[in-house]
Chain A
């Protein structure tokens, strides 16, 4: 372990503070999914990923991460800043004119850490597969990680990709699903049920694991375990149970905070629950 669980939880607390402040600062953005994935991002960037300090688009010899559900950009931006990709003061520009921190992540503004645009859903798994194929051709044994929303899996392209990866034995690919059961219009069970994602992915030929995405110990162990499953001919799918809005009591478990910004009073109530650990931007 590079960090203790307590240290990682402290980082996640700061990232959650950043998320609600960023979304409040521009009165737009997506706090719910961002908060729910703060523990995953912390574990990934501070414990799991073998990544270089200096960003290079080609990412040769390092692990790569692709965020398919680009709307949870606040959690990624805050993580990237605290991981040293750019100064955290830039978080104040989120969604504002002339910012590199666009509403949805993009390479267009050359923000270090981003390798493809995402936002229009369902495209990230294909891109990650491409990156993994190139690593294979280059003899580069590094891993390729992704994150997808669960609602996002309603997009058909995911299933084209899900069919492709096991057929080509892409066993360096570790995809995680933010399994919070919520999407904009309500619970996924009511909008368009995903039914058993485990059975679906297993039928497609994936090795599926289940983790608790809001328990730091569990997510760190789960991602380490996922890495031990690589190299065995199957891609790995991490079905990661999370709560939308995790860490802010009044946002938790409801689709209503998918894409709504807190007002001043709500911001204060959120920050009171999230200790400042690394210093606010």
Chain B
């Protein structure tokens, strides 16, 4: 197992804030909108340097999405910012009609996704957003795994023409990816090469997958770990290549197993290469109040759950 270390922990939302600021410096057409959550979205640096290119919309997310769609007309590249719940479920029809169907170059940037939002509880912990967004034709869906990757993803989507959903979170987690990485939309990152099982992880679950890989190595299991940051379009080639070698797969995501990354992988494998698969994901449930760590443990999203899923799926190999 390749050794991953970190010297600091940071939140992925701060990676977004840094990326937005840098994207703003690079391209004067980058504009930002927020629905009364500037601090939570870490937009302060952008607002300080480009006040005229920032629009405070107030607590009116539907209006924000419509305004963002309109701002593309004339060449702006709008980044909207609010919590993941209010970025998706609350404004689904506005995104569907004014952004996705209208093919507008809007970047929907969503913080506080998943259980790790913590104490605010289920009203704010959306576990359905990946499913909602990936079903929209033409929508790119990205869920980066640490500060550096989120920053790189933010810069990459500014250069991509078309609607994008970028999902990130609140908790501080290890920063373990390259600060100078080149982020390629739709390209998987090989975290660790192995032969016994393919672990496919996204977002906060990538570090958990690395922790699981270390435990599996102690048990004599050689896990291949792939980071899928872009859930749509999915890197079919990387997944199929790995699964051909290992013969089984475990998918890991901080999202409902209905409609998430796991289902996208299952759809690919069912049609191309039927393979035993286990899902580390929430199981058709809402979250609740608690600390992020408590919630990830209670809902089965820890390294130990990945280890168990790997042992189970290896047992199902023919």
Would A131 and B97 count as touching, CB distance under 8 A? no
Q: Which of A126, A129, A131 has the most B CB atoms < 10 Å from its CB?
A: A126
The stretch from B55-63, B81-89, B122-130, B267-275 touching chain A is B55-63
At the interface, yes or no: A209 with Cβ under 8 Å from chain B?
no
The stretch from A153-161, A194-202, A227-235, A254-262 touching chain B is A153-161
Q: How far, in Å, is A23 (CB) from chain B's closest CB?
A: 23
A108-B101 contact given A123-B66, A157-B62, A157-B66, CB 8 Å threshold? yes
Q: Mark B66-86, 1 if CB is under 8 A from A, else 0.
A: 111111111110100000000
In the bound assembly, the distance between CA atoms of A107 and B58 in angstroms comes to: 28
In the bound assembly, the distance between CA atoms of A64 and B71 in angstroms comes to: 12
At the interface, yes or no: B180 with Cβ under 8 Å from chain A?
no
A59-B98 contact given A120-B93, A160-B62, CB 8 Å threshold? no
Would B103 and A64 count as touching, CB distance under 8 A? no
Task: Select which of A57, A115, A118, A133 is within 8 A of B97 by beta carbon.
Answer: A118
Secondary structure of the B contact surface, majority rule: helix
At the interface, yes or no: B139 with Cβ under 8 Å from chain A?
no
Would B58 and A164 count as touching, CB distance under 8 A? yes
Would B76 and A116 count as touching, CB distance under 8 A? no
In the bound assembly, the distance between CA atoms of A138 and B74 in angstroms comes to: 8
Q: How far, in Å, is B53 (CB) from chain A's closest CB?
A: 7
Task: Select which of A64, A106, A108, A156 is within 8 A of B73 by beta carbon.
Answer: A64
Would B102 and A117 count as touching, CB distance under 8 A? yes
Would B60 and A107 count as touching, CB distance under 8 A? no
A126-B97 contact given A106-B102, A137-B53, A138-B75, CB 8 Å threshold? no
Would A157 and B63 count as touching, CB distance under 8 A? yes
Interface residues of A in 33-79 (CB under 8 A from B): 57-60, 64, 66
Q: How far, in Å, is B79 (CB) from chain A's closest CB?
A: 13
A59-B93 contact given A126-B66, A137-B52, A164-B67, CB 8 Å threshold? no
Would A130 and B97 count as touching, CB distance under 8 A? no
At the interface, yes or no: B94 with Cβ under 8 Å from chain A?
yes
In the bound assembly, the distance between CA atoms of A64 and B73 in angstroms comes to: 10
Identity of the chain B residue whose Cβ is nearest the Cβ of A115 in the assembled complex: B73
In the bound assembly, the distance between CA atoms of A107 and B238 in angstroms comes to: 34
Q: Which of A60, A119, A127, A129 has the most B CB atoms < 10 Å from its CB?
A: A127
Identity of the chain A residue whose Cβ is nearest the Cβ of B74 in the assembled complex: A134
Would B63 and A108 count as touching, CB distance under 8 A? no
Task: Select which of B52, B57, B96, B98 is within 8 A of A164 by beta carbon.
Answer: B57
In the bound assembly, the distance between CA atoms of A229 and B199 in angstroms comes to: 63
At the interface, yes or no: A135 with Cβ under 8 Å from chain B?
yes
At the interface, yes or no: A163 with Cβ under 8 Å from chain B?
yes
Q: How far, in Å, is A93 (CB) from chain B's closest CB?
A: 20
Task: Select which of B31, B62, B101 is within 8 A of A126 by beta carbon.
Answer: B62
Would B71 and A131 count as touching, CB distance under 8 A? yes
Q: With a CB–CB cut-off of 8 A, which chain A residues contact B97? A: 117-120, 123
Would A107 and B74 count as touching, CB distance under 8 A? no
Q: How far, in Å, is B139 (CB) from chain A's closest CB?
A: 14
Would A59 and B74 count as touching, CB distance under 8 A? yes
In the bound assembly, the distance between CA atoms of A134 and B69 in angstroms comes to: 11
Given A127-B66, A129-B63, 19 new contacts (CB under 8 A): A58-B75, A60-B74, A64-B73, A66-B70, A108-B101, A116-B102, A123-B97, A123-B98, A126-B62, A126-B67, A127-B69, A127-B70, A130-B72, A130-B78, A133-B70, A138-B75, A160-B60, A164-B57, A164-B63
Q: Which 6 pairs of residues, A with B, have the shortest CB-CB distance?
A: A130-B70, A126-B66, A134-B74, A160-B63, A160-B60, A130-B67
